Amino acid sequence: MNKKEVAHIRKQFKLDHDLLNLYDILNVYIMKDSSEIYHWERLPFGLVDREKQELYMGNFKKLLTGELDHKLFELKFQEEAEEPTKVMLHQGLVTGDPEEWQDLMLMLVDKMLVDTKYEKDTVITFVRGQYHRPTKARSEESEESEKNETYAHQFILCSVNSTEQQRKNLMFDYVEREFKYNVIVDPIVKLSSPEQGFFYPSVTDNYSDVNRILYCTGKSNYPDARFIEQVLNAETSVTALEERSYFEDIVKELAGEQLDTTTIAQVYEQIQQVIEDGAGEEEPPTLDFKDVERVLQASGIENVTAEKVERAFETILDDRNYEMKATSVIPKFTSKSIKIETKVATISVSPQDLRYVKQVNYQGKRCIMIEVDEDVVIEGFTLSTEIL
């Protein structure tokens, strides 16, 4: 599943979209004290108030928002699992009986509650439906409608949302013309910030892949391993943050702990070139030990050989054939994604501009020096230039 496929699915979740049909929605309320089902409710989505439909659509779209390997993870199901969730979800996908679908989703909620203590009351929302994807780019001159040129994809989406208590407020009563102390005990379901969830099945090359599931987490680079393994019965995936850490450890193993900013910038530029060269491919570009050797050599790091890089892969990853996603191992190239934190200030800089930042020794003190093309203005004052 690539980012274009995820983006296409996310765009379907809006009201009155002719390529999206939502059949049923099931909401399950979990009490934090008992971690038990307090209440559940299933309705045809079309019978839900339009204002609520808009809130749900926003929740589904938010759940599917984020970068792959950061907040969204395409996972394989475990081969051997007792009472596998894969079977439960597939049965829920193909059944035409809303009550059977409801019972299967409630069974899945039971799996979520095993050995789990929720910190807040939680609402688990399931929706089942179908969306259409065009088989090819639509011609403006074609008389055929988009629906005649589409693949139909049935799906189940799950969103896990915590609740919060409403704040105490002072309100004014227009009728009685008096100020009143307003206490509302009903909790608010935080649909705008889902904790986690999933979209089943995954999609690859316009085909539904029932052997994979798209897991979504609300906190970037922190997937819930227990939910993935015990609830979804899926295999955990390496996050982009973990892959970047692997890459950094490999570079340190080969080049040492200290590098100047020019060398680091050259490493990032070489990897960015790999990303740009593979931009048109279906699969994201990866780096094996041979690619890393080439990148480091081109960046001016000395004494780098294929044997040393291969040995570093074996030491750090315990797998000489491991391939890292190129997009995972560097910060976002064109945005100020690098943070240089000191006691005095935090400096943000993009990888392509890192070469203009240097650490220097001035009068026995370590200093950060930034090369600039224009005068620096602070609070309306132009800084004078000192000659060192």
Q: What is the DSSP string of 329-366?
A: SS--TTTT-EEEE-SS-EEEE-GGGGGGEEEEEETTEE
Q: How many angstroms separate the CA atoms of 177 and 3, rounded?
A: 55
- The pTM of this model reads 0.85
Q: How many angstroms separate the CA atoms of 248 and 253, rounded?
A: 9
Residue type, 211: N
Q: How many angstroms separate the CA atoms of 173 and 327, rounded?
A: 56
- Establish how many alpha carbons lie within 13 A of residue 331's alpha carbon, considering only the half-sphere containing its beta carbon: 16
Q: How many angstroms separate the CA atoms of 196 and 66, rounded?
A: 12
Query: Greatest CA span in the chain, whole angstroms?
Result: 84
pLDDT of 284 strictly over 50:
yes
Instruction: Tell me what pLDDT residue 387 has.
Output: 82
pLDDT of 60 strictly over 90:
yes
**CA-CA-CA-CA torsion sign (181, 186, 187, 190):** negative
DSSP for 152-208 reads EEEEEEEEEEEEEPPPPEEEEETTTTEEEEE---SPEE-TTS--EEEEESEEETTEE
Residue type, 297: Q
Q: How many angstroms separate the CA atoms of 366 and 385, rounded?
A: 19
Is the bond preceding 285 in cis, omega lying within 30 degrees of 0? no
Q: How confident is the model at residue 141 (pLDDT cuts 50, 70, 90)?
A: very low
Q: Cβ of 291: how many Cβ atoms within 10 Å?
A: 18
What is the overall mean pLDDT for the chain?
90
Q: How confident is the model at residue 149 (pLDDT cuts 50, 70, 90)?
A: low
- Residue 230 phi, psi dihedral angles, 5° rounding: -90, -30
Among 95-109, 200-214, 360-374, top mean pLDDT goes to: 95-109
341 beta partners: 346
The stretch 333-355 carries a mean pLDDT of 91
Query: What six digits make up the tokens of 209?
Result: 């892949």
Q: How confident is the model at residue 146 (pLDDT cuts 50, 70, 90)?
A: very low
For the CA atoms of the chain, what is the radius of gyration? 26
Instruction: Tell me what pLDDT residue 134 has.
Output: 73
Residue type, 319: D
The stretch 266-278 carries a mean pLDDT of 93
Query: What six digits make up the tokens of 379?
Result: 């609070």
Instruction: Tell me what pLDDT residue 184 has.
Output: 73
Query: What six digits make up the tokens of 99?
Result: 């009550």
The percent of residues above 90 in pLDDT, for the chain, comes to 70
Query: What six digits make up the tokens of 122?
Result: 């939680």
pLDDT of 218 strictly over 80:
yes
Query: What six digits make up the tokens of 362?
Result: 């001035």
Q: How many angstroms separate the CA atoms of 29 and 36, rounded?
A: 8
Q: Residues 383, 376: contact at Cβ < 8 Å?
A: yes
pLDDT digits (tens, 9 = 90+) for 61-91: 999 999 999 999 999 999 887 779 999 999 9
pLDDT digits (tens, 9 = 90+) for 151-176: 889 999 999 999 988 778 888 889 98
Q: Residues 78, 212: contact at Cβ < 8 Å?
A: no
Q: How many angstroms separate the CA atoms of 269 and 275, rounded?
A: 10
